[in-house]
Structure 1
Amino acid sequence: MDLTAENLAAIDDKLSGRHIDLDPAGYFIIYLDREAGLISAKHFTNVIDEHGLAVDPETGKVIPARGKVQRTHTTVFTGRTAKELCVKIFEETQPCPVSLFDHAAYLGREFVRAEVALVTGQEYVQD
């Protein structure tokens, strides 16, 4: 397989469809604050139920993977670069709001994608 942008995108698209376990420490909604020049990550807590679904700890209701949900975040982390954001979340915050290695790796990849979009002016949509 040639290393073209299309082929690499196809690999990533295929991998994006795989099953991953949800992190019992919570999840992040990542977005850009272009005016401030920042990558932002809102952290939300959750509980994982016996079916492996994320549940709102306050209401007990399943948190849908798609669509709008009215929930209050616990923290907003911001950084000018992916590395700065990772240091704030993984090194400076105790206890760390991420408990699974695959979740940490995912966040690192997403923060790099967000940084590239911030620098280039491209649209950023969290995977």
Structure 2
Amino acid sequence: MDLILENLAAIDDKLSQRHIDLDPNGYFIIYVDRAEGLIHAKHFTNIIDDRGLAVDPETGKVIPARGKVERTHTTVFSGRTAKELSVKIFEETQPCPVTQLDHAAYLGREFVRAEVALVTGQEYIQD
């Protein structure tokens, strides 16, 4: 069983290193609030420049992928489950803040991971 889990973790780790095109409608910071029993997804807008980099629409500066970034979110979506959060973002919000299918799939995976962490008490770190 441990070998199977190690193989699955290796697959995920490798796939986490691949190139992805950024969604021109923005990105989400996902976190768990145990006191409230909620998963939160803060949405931030961005612009994708001609190099494929995310740029802050207010400052014109490239948004770094690592490290602390001081930006104001446009919306916070919250739900008790991955499904509830997905419905709020993808079905109830018009226009939808997600424009790419790979971004939608990524968010679904992350919402499930956050829900599992919330239910089990494990730490959640967004991939």
TM normalised by structure 2 equals: 0.97
Name the CA distance, whole Å, in 2 between partners of 1:5 and 1:95.
39
Aligned-pair identity (%): 86
RMSD over aligned Cα, in angstroms?
1.0
Partners of 2:18 and 2:3 in 1: CA distance: 22
* Corresponding residue SS for 1:15: helix
Which of structure 1's runs of 4+ aligned residues deviate more than 3 A?
none
How many angstroms does 1:56 deviate by?
0.1
1:115 aligns with 2:115: yes
Task: Please say if 1:29 is aligned against 2:32.
Answer: no
In structure 2, what residue type is equivalent to 1:83?
Answer: K
Structure 2, unaligned runs of 5 or more: none
3 and 104 in structure 1: CA distance in 2 versus 1, 3 angstrom threshold: farther
Aligned residues: 126
CA distance in 2: counterparts of 1:5 and 1:55, whole angstroms: 37
Q: Say whether residues 1:78 and 2:51 are aligned partners.
A: no
- CA distance in 2 between counterparts of 1:89 and 1:3 reads 37
| In 2, Cα distance between equivalents of 1:81 and 1:45 | 24
SS at match of 2:91: helix
TM-score by length of 1: 0.97
Q: Give deviations 1:47-92, integer Å, cap 9, x for gaps.
A: 0000000000000000000000000000000000000000000000
